[in-house]
Amino acid sequence: MTGGAEARDDAIFKRSSCPITNGLNIFGDKWTLLVIRDLMLGKCRYADFISSPENIASNILADRLKRLEAAGLVSRQAYQQKPVRYEYVLTEKGNDLKPILEAISRWGRRHCPGTDVFRPVDRFKLR
């Protein structure tokens, strides 16, 4: 274990009366929102996330996916048996993060010149 998801489930579920604090307890770290971004861009398999330009380490990715599942933002579905393999999809709770990502993207576009447009796929158009 990398001091991973299990060790910090308490952090995920910690409760404050501030909605921002609660949100950040779940996704306020360096990697989680990038994984969410990838999910919104239509990525759903391990290798998809690994191949993103930010170069997330495999152990960190595994940890974040577990945590996101524990927090109910992501669910996984087996797409093959023997060996069983999963793909990851946003739940409604996870999909509701879209306005946040869009707001971040808009800020980045305005204040960090030369950045691209963020075009989340409509998950209900997928598959």
Partner DNA sequence: CAGTATCCATTTTGATACTG
Partner DNA sequence: CAGTATCAAAATGGATACTG
User: Which does residue 7 bind out of DNA, its own copies, none, counting CB within 5 to 8 angstroms by kind?
Assistant: DNA
Cβ atoms of 39 and 52 closer than 8 Å: no
User: Which does residue 111 bind out of its own copies, DNA, none, counting CB within 5 to 8 angstroms by kind?
Assistant: its own copies
CA torsion 12→23→113→44, rounded to 10°?
A: 50
Q: Does residue 58 bind DNA (CB under 7 A)?
A: yes
**Residues belonging to the chain:** 127
Give the separation between CA 66 and CA 12, rounded to whole angstroms. 11
User: Which does residue 112 bind out of DNA, its own copies, none, counting CB within 5 to 8 angstroms by kind?
Assistant: its own copies
Minimal distance, residue 58 CB to DNA, in Å: 4
Cα radius of gyration (the chain): 15
Interacting residues toward DNA by CB under 7 A: 1-3, 7-8, 11, 29-31, 45-48, 55-60, 62-63, 65-66, 83, 85-87
